[in-house]
Amino acid sequence: MKVSYCIYGASGHGKVIIEILENSGKKVNLLYDDDVNKTRLLDYNVNHDKQVFILPEIRWIVGIGDNVIRKKIVENNRLNYGVAIHSSSQISKRTQIGIGSVVMAGVCINSSTIIGEHTIVNTSTSIDHDCIIENYVHISPNATLCGGVSVGEGTHIGAGAVVIPGIKIGKWAKIGAGSVIIRDVPENATVVGNPGRMINRAK
């Protein structure tokens, strides 16, 4: 039986995942959402019955952009996860991409980089060699990560941000759109500006 895909979350992010899968010739079987008011997304009906979780030969992708919610869904639902990679992306054969992750159009990922599970690498992002991106990260459109950067679990990197080589960003940090990160970022910190400055650190 040919593997098909289901998306958990009938949202705008879910729309993008649908089109990534369609573009790469993969079959989208159905969508699921906890919100019973969501009934249709693009050309697909939205299901609300968790019985669909036991369908055979299905790969799931969580179509939720919020890192906290995405992690909670994954931890609460033992599903068989796949990956969605746009055909226009350029990915080194020596890069590893974890289950549940999404790589969008125009992305470039260079040699020996590791992308964790359930991570979003958004449109036209550039990730250079030897980066380590942990689980549940979201790297927004047009961000640039230079070589040897590490990004901790759950961190959100804003659109157009630039991270210079060798920087370490801790878990659940927030990097503002357009920021230029020239020094390490501790976990739970919010950093904005050029050069990046910490404006908050959650406990």
Q: CA-to-CA distance for 15 and 163, rounded, in angstroms?
A: 29
- What counts of helices (H) and strands (E) characterise the chain? 2, 24
Neighbours of 61 (CB within 10 A): 27
Instruction: Give the active site residues.
Output: 129
Q: CA-to-CA distance for 123 and 13, rounded, in angstroms?
A: 12
DSSP state of 17: H
Closest of 181, 123, 179, 194 to residue 151, by C-alpha: 181
C-alpha atoms less than 13 angstroms from C-alpha of 7 in its C-beta half-sphere: 30
Closest of 142, 166, 165, 140 to residue 155, by C-alpha: 140
Contact 20, 85 (CB under 8 A): yes
